[in-house]
Every structure is written in structure tokens, then in C-alpha cells.
Structure 1
Amino acid sequence: MNWDEVGARVVPTAGIALAPSAALTALGAALVVVGVAPVWQSLRVVVTLVHELGHAVVGLAVGRRFTGFVLRGDMSGHAVTVGPSRGAGRVVTTWAGYPAPAVLGAVMVWAAGRGWSAPMVTAGLVVLVVALLRVRSALTGVVMVLVLAANGALWWWRDDRLQATVLVALGVVLLVGAWRHLGAVAGSRERGSDPAVLAALTRVPRGLWTASFVLVCAAATAWAGRVLLDLVR
């Protein structure tokens, strides 16, 4: 493959690439994923994956080293970044997990609605390839290979309408998944949960950290909702 072929799979399209009927189809598919219990139990690991990569990406951005991550059979996960045990870098890295699915989901919906699906799929491919080198369990490896294969196929056989439809569906799944995961942690008293760790690091009550997650998720949902309304009109 030459650079011209790579470029053809990266450049955005002109205008909105998703018709209202395709947007409604994507929304319907997303509702099936999050609303049908057996489907959700199988696919919610994608939300966990984004949560853990949120820790990793923000950790790298603030100068920490990302050394590995695992996804578990109960759909929980854990990412390890190395750096100072306290301080702003540790705090923002720990904080980033729960908002990550909502923020990424909103960005996906926006990208689909604005003709930027191809760059979005390309960015996802790059992140997944790098993250694959940090897998630390067999289950994590299987999930990563499957997600990477799906993303790679979507990138290789570029179809603007299909890419946009998939991004809308996955974006909505991530948004709803972010709220479901947030609801679970809001009622948790586990000492190892992100709000509990943040409270221990800063002496700010865990309830306030949970409230900050809610605010970010609400903003991301509102943004995505406006884009979706434009798409289905």
C-alpha cells in the first residue's frame, strides 16, 4: 500500500455523510445493544475498554507511563500508569475513566454527522494498535483483537455511509454505557473505585467526584443529542 492509498482512507468527506434513515437505523441498533440484556452483557466490555484507555491516554498526556491493562470476565478492568503516586497528574489520570466513554461517544456522533468518520476511524485504529502492545491477559487480548479487526475492516474497506452509521451506533452505545457504569459506581462503597481513590488522593468527598462525572456525561449527552436531532430531521 502506498501513501496515496492510505490518504484516501483518512481524509474526511465533504458535507454530512449520513442520511436520516441511516441515523435512525444506527439509533435502533444501539438501543438493541443497550436494551437487550444478553447483548449488553456481551458487548458492554467495549465501554470498559474505553474507560481503561481513557485512563491510559490522559495518563500519557500528563507525562505518566502506560504499562498495561486488563479486562476481566465480570466486565471490570484495570489500567496501570506509572508516575508520582500523588499530585495533579495522578488525579486527572484517575478521574478520566468514567467520563471517557461519554466524551468519546459524543465525538463519534459529531464526527459521523460532520463527514469526519474516516479520520475518526483512523485515530481509533492507531490507539488500538498501540494499546495492543500493553495487553496483560488472555481475555484482554481476545477482546482487543476482535475490536481491532472490526475497526481495521471498517478502515480498509472504506464506505463513508457505513462508517458514519457505525460511529453513530457505537457513539450512542458508549453514551448510554457511560451512564450505566456511572450509576453502578455511584452506589458503590468499594475502596478501590475511582471516586474512592480520588477522595483518598485529594480529601474531596467521593460524592463530589461522582458529581463531576455526571456533569461531563450530561454535557457530552447534550452535545450528541443536538447532533442527532440534526441528523434525523
Structure 2
Amino acid sequence: MDEYVEQHSSPSSELTRWIREETATRCPAWADIGSSKSQGGFLAMLVSLQRPASILEIGTFAGHGAVSMAERLPQGGRLVTVDNSAADPVALDIAQRAFAHSTVAGRISLEIADAGEYLKSTTESYDLIFVDADKPNYLNYLDVICDRQLMKPSGVMIFDNTLWGGRVLEPDLPESEDFESEPDPEAWVRLMQDDWARHVRAFNNEVLTRPGFEVVLAPIADGMTLIRVQRD
């Protein structure tokens, strides 16, 4: 299905195609956590329609999502992307090289920082906020964004991976375990995915209860949840 979707969508830019190819070649173990072609196309289309002056991205990785959005920013628009580069420093190098490209140079500001700390310290507000980071902190990020009014009244938030490979549908996810101390790599991945599935499902359930939230979970790639806050 993913292949069919990509074949029947407009081609992506040369720069985003280069990012995907570099990511697959240089950091194959993590390549699947980057934004896909279809996600990049969706983000680009949304920016073209919304015409935001300011975008905040939480979770840079190799820069595919950031570039997809930055290429469609209106004149004078800017994008801030935040990452602690913990997943793979090679991915950060790919992102920095892409951000230096002439088509997006000057539009993107890369902040190497903890996402939670950045959200607590920034004094800006944004038209579009895209979160693709550690799933256990999704609700924490959402709370800080709302409490500090980091999203402008007409803004939109997008949270990625909200289908989590379909595991949100599982009625009985395993109970939480301390996967961080697990020595076996395969077991660590399995326990981590179990833990993150629980957090994603909790996030999906919680956002529907928030007063004034308009929520759409779009089945794009691994799920993208769009949130608009209706203010009085």
C-alpha cells in the first residue's frame, strides 16, 4: 500500500530525495524512523495551504520533515527544528548538510537541545508545530505547548506515529517493564515498542477529552494526528 501511495503522489524535491537516500545508506539501522516520502508530501501540502510564518519541529533526525516544510514556506517564513541528536549523530550530519542547501538556507534554525527544556524556555509562538519525537513525552509536550500558548490561535499541531504500527488496536498490551536496563538488543527493542505503544494509545485517548480540541487522526504512513484548539 505504501508503495502504491507514493507512486500516485507528486514527486518529491531533489533535496528530500537526497535526504532519504543518504539516510538509508549512512544510518540504515535508524532509517525507518525518518519521515517518509508520503509524510513529506503531506507536510509540504499543508504548509502550502496554511502559509505559516513560523514552524516549530520537535525531532529533527535527518531533516526530511524540516526540509519538506521549509521548501514551501512563504517569503520571510522560518522554521525552528529541535533535536538532541541522541538517535544517530550521522543523521544530524545529513540534516545539517541539507539545511545548508541554497533552497532552504536561512529558513531553518537547528537547535541541539532537549525538547522539553526548549519548550519551557522558548518565548516564541508558532503557526504550525510538528512533533515526531519520544512518544512517552507526547502528553508532556502537549501540556507545555498549551500551558505556555506556544501555538498561535489559528495554528495547528501535528503528532506523528499515532498508529504505532497498528499496535494501538491491541486490546491487551504487555504490562510496563523497565526496558532501559535490558541487555539483549532484540528484547530491548520489543520492550521499548510495547512501552511506546501504551504511551501512544494514552495520548490518542487523552486528546479527545481536551476541551476545545478538534482532532483528526489521519492514516498517513504510521498515523499523523492533527490538532486545532478552538479558543473563546
What TM-score does the superposition give when structure 2 sets the normalisation length?
Answer: 0.29
- Higher percent of residues as helix: 1
Higher RCO (CA 8 Å, separation ≥ 6 residues): 1
- Higher percent of residues as strand: 2
